Amino acid sequence: MKALILTPSTKDVSVQEIPVPKPRDGEVLIRVHAVALNPIDSIYVVHPIAEQEQRVIGTDFAGVITAVGPDLSSSTDLRARIGGRVAGFHQGACSTNDRPGAFAEYITAPYDLLWSVPDGMSLSDASTISMCGLTAAQGVYSRLGLPCPFDDQTGALTTNGSGITNVLIYSASTSLGLYAAQLVQHAARTSGRKIRLIGTASPSKHDLLRKAPYSYDVLVDYRDPNWVDKVKKATEGKGIDFAVDSISEGQTVYSVHDTLAATAKMAVFRGPKGGQYDPSELRIKPIYGAVWEGLGHEIGYNGAIFPANPEARVFATKFFNFLSTAAADGNVKLEPNPVRLMPGGLERIVPDGFTLLGSGLVSKRQDTSRTEDYMRPISGEKIVYRIQGEA
């Protein structure tokens, strides 16, 4: 089979032939139909941290099960049956230790870290959800503690005495922000409490964000020099109770911090080093975590070792079960990101997709100067490649 392989020592990435992997106990073999791109896919190719000779790169995937591990042959779970349509994510080259990647014609994965894609959803759409959806769920439920529709831990909603909880999502049109808003709306439904959802995004995205499933109450332009004051005014001067900084890069962290009420919580998705901010300057400490914890393995990442985190893995399985229920009841729990289906397959991911993503800060992405329509800057969309079969 073909796979997109990084040689860390030379930073070379090429499509190569490697053996089709075999599913072990608890795993399934998946024919990959679609993959979605994330900023870290390109960052850790241009600045490799992998310590092996070669690594299959890529995180988000969706496809069809073609074989199951020895212990799953009589399983009735839709995610462990040949022909099942599933989605999930791998770590790709985003760790020092060896972990599997998604950009290949076939991959294996533990069935309980997959979700069952409903018949009405394309595999391209499904490929956009797993990694950023789980990241957003970890941020909104595990770190901020908002009421969670699929976990017993029922968070409390701070209301500052007004009966309304003020939630800010900075950079609402990021992939992460599009999922975080939907999860905040699930928290409001789960608790029966009123949440005032406030977002920052380019004005061209405001119409999309006002509508369901995002349903923002207030939107401001993050390029407006007065956006922090406008957000505070929208809270009637009380400040934000829960903030999600979907960019978490330098000034965004300090500005989001300026909107917070005294008892607020704030979730970030880049650590201080990668995000270039100093938590010691902040009254309320931003809460950071890496989505990889959900995969349940020890990982070497950004100069640290993240030990295997069984609790985070259990949370991930509950999240994927929650997504899977749509396959049975027909109600999609998270709308996928709008998809930009790119021309070509594995061989075009680096020259086109990674050019769009860049390899530095999201907030400093340069226009690529490429003239093809599919090379316009990423805004409120996920970049998706078809690998094989129906996507």
Ligand X SMILES: NC(=O)c1ccc[n+]([C@@H]2O[C@H](COP(=O)([O-])OP(=O)(O)OC[C@H]3O[C@@H](n4cnc5c(N)ncnc54)[C@H](OP(=O)(O)O)[C@@H]3O)[C@@H](O)[C@H]2O)c1
What's the min distance (Å) between Cβ of 172 and ligand X? Answer: 7
Cα angle vertex 71, ends 69, 72, to 5°?
65
Nearer to ligand X, 336 or 380 (CB): 380
Shortest Å distance, C-beta 74 to ligand X: 36
Binding-site member from 21, 23, 26, 39 for ligand X (CB under 6 A): 39
Based on C-alpha coordinates, what's the Rg of the chain? 20
As a whole number of angstroms, the distance between CA 107 and CA 8 comes to: 21
By CB under 6 A, tell whether 290 contacts ligand X: yes
Cβ-contact 45, 117 below 8 angstroms: no
Beta carbon of residue 261, minimum distance to ligand X (angstroms, whole number): 22
Q: Which of residues 225-264 bind ligand X (CB under 6 A)?
A: 246-247, 252
Q: Does 62 bind ligand X (CB under 6 A)?
A: no
Q: Which of 173, 185, 235, 259 binds ligand X (CB under 6 A)?
A: 173
C-alpha distances (whole Å) from 45 to each of 6, 344, 357 are 7, 20, 12
With respect to ligand X, which residue has the nearer C-beta, 96 or 173?
A: 173
In the beta sheet, which residues pair with residue 3? 16, 104
Tell whether residue 202 is a contact of ligand X (CB under 6 A): yes
Residue 380 makes contact with ligand X by CB under 6 A: yes
Q: Which is nearer to ligand X, 122 or 173 (CB)?
A: 173
Our CB check for ligand X shows the closer of 222 and 315 to be: 222
Residue partners of 182: CB distance under 8 A and separation at least 6: 213, 214, 334, 335
Dihedral pair phi/psi, residue 160, rounded to 5°: 55, 30
Instruction: Give CA–CA dist 158/209, Å, rounded.
Output: 24
Number of residues that bind ligand X (CB under 6 A): 26
Q: Does 175 bind ligand X (CB under 6 A)?
A: yes
Pairwise CA distance, residues 79 & 101, whole Å: 19
Residues facing residue 14 across a β-bridge: 5
Residues 6+ apart with CB under 8 A from 229: none
- Which residue lies nearer to ligand X by CB, 38 or 182? 38
Please identify, using beta-carbon distances, which residue of 195 and 201 lies nearer to ligand X. Answer: 201
Using CB under 6 A, list all residues that contact ligand X: 38-40, 132, 135, 171, 173-176, 201-202, 205, 222, 246-247, 252, 269-270, 290-291, 362-363, 378-380
